Amino acid sequence: MGTAESLEFTLTPGLTLNAAISGPLLRAGIEAAQVELSGGAFGPLTYVIPAAACDPGHAAWYSSARKPEGTSRLDAANVTFGRREGGPFTHCHAFFTGPDGVRRGGHVMPLDTVVAAPITARAYGAREVGVGVEFDPETDFTLFTPRALSGVGPSRRRLAFARVRPNTDIVTAVEELCRRHGFAAGTVRGGVGSLVGACFADAPDVSDYATEVFVRSGVIRPGPDGEPEAALDVALVGMSGCLAEGRLVRGENPVCITFEIAVEETVA
């Protein structure tokens, strides 16, 4: 957990997605952040969607790389920013519309995707926290994992980072994150991960056993008993290529591989 800092900037055309995001954040002294993107375009764009596992050691895998010709207009995306092998790295899930006019979604490859038109970015980070890629023996993947870099001083804006493990309900995990840090209320900032299908309160369920997800909005408020209650609206793409959006049902949406999330405390 750290002191929340927000930073608004524009992704510069001609840079890779990785460079366009990491440059402004590193110049601001931020080592860990959740970033929300909107507008603008990619071109070229390289992305993948979830796929069946390639071996018994993995719960799921990725499709082959997809590279639409021309420019793809960005609808929205979330990005986790941290470090891999010492260098800045990003993990991005997005919805976009391709040159053919078809709306799609997926896991955007940050080193192979270039910003084609200015994209609006809003980042939520903390100087006291670092996020690094580490090998996780449970999933047999290398995953972003937050680590404390220094203590948190007095602050009216605290930001808690977490990596949610497989088979943990994402809604109750957000509530537990708030309880652990003493947040009576909060706002989810960013959020990138995978779920085992999806059970929605306001949209048809998704049966694909692996989905790539980003959080559209998330709010935590005190319930009738004073305990935190979370409402999460997400967007996702499934193994079939289906797109879905809606509010998740509490207790019915376990994480597939990982979920990277941050919650900013709401202070009265």
pLDDT at 152 over 70: no
pTM of the prediction? Answer: 0.95
Asked if 251 contacts 199 with a C-beta cutoff of 8 angstroms, the reply is: no
Provide the pLDDT confidence category of residue 6 given band limits of 50, 70 and 90.
Answer: very high
How many Å apart are CA 150 and CA 196, to the nearest integer?
A: 35
Given this model, what pLDDT does residue 155 score?
62
Among 148, 164, 169, 161, which residue's Cα sits nearest to residue 34?
A: 161
How many Å apart are CA 80 and CA 138, to the nearest integer?
A: 21
pLDDT at 47 over 90: yes
Given this model, what pLDDT does residue 251 score?
97
Given this model, what pLDDT does residue 151 score?
67
Sign of CA dihedral 108, 85, 145, 30: negative
Mean pLDDT of the residues in the chain: 94
Residue 217 CA, chain-centre distance (Å), reads 11
pLDDT in tens, 60-82: 989 999 999 999 999 999 999 99
Given this model, what pLDDT does residue 247 score?
98
Look up residue 13 and give its amino acid.
Answer: P
pLDDT in tens, 192-219: 999 999 999 999 999 999 999 999 999 9
pLDDT at 154 over 70: no
Look up residue 91 and give its amino acid.
Answer: H
Given this model, what pLDDT does residue 22 score?
97
Look up residue 54 and give its amino acid.
Answer: C
pLDDT at 150 over 90: no
185, two tokens: 């209320």
Q: Mean pLDDT throughout 140-155?
A: 79
DSSP calls for the chain: -EE-EEEEEEEPTTSBHHHHHHHHHHHTT-SEEEEEEESSEESS--EE-EE--SSTT-S-EEPPPB--SS-EEEEEEEEEEEEETTEEEEEEEEEEE-TTS-EEEEEE-TTT-BEEE-EEEEEEEETTEEEEEEEETTTTEEEEEEEE-S---S-S-EEEEEEEPTT-BHHHHHHHHHHHHT-SSEEEEEEEEEESSB-BSSS--B--S-EEEEEEEEEEEE-TTSSEEEEEEEEEEETT--EEEEEBPTTS-BEEEEEEEEEEEP--
- Cα–Cα distances (Å) from 207 to 63, 149, 268, in that order, read 18, 40, 40
Look up residue 262 and give its amino acid.
Answer: A
Given this model, what pLDDT does residue 194 score?
97
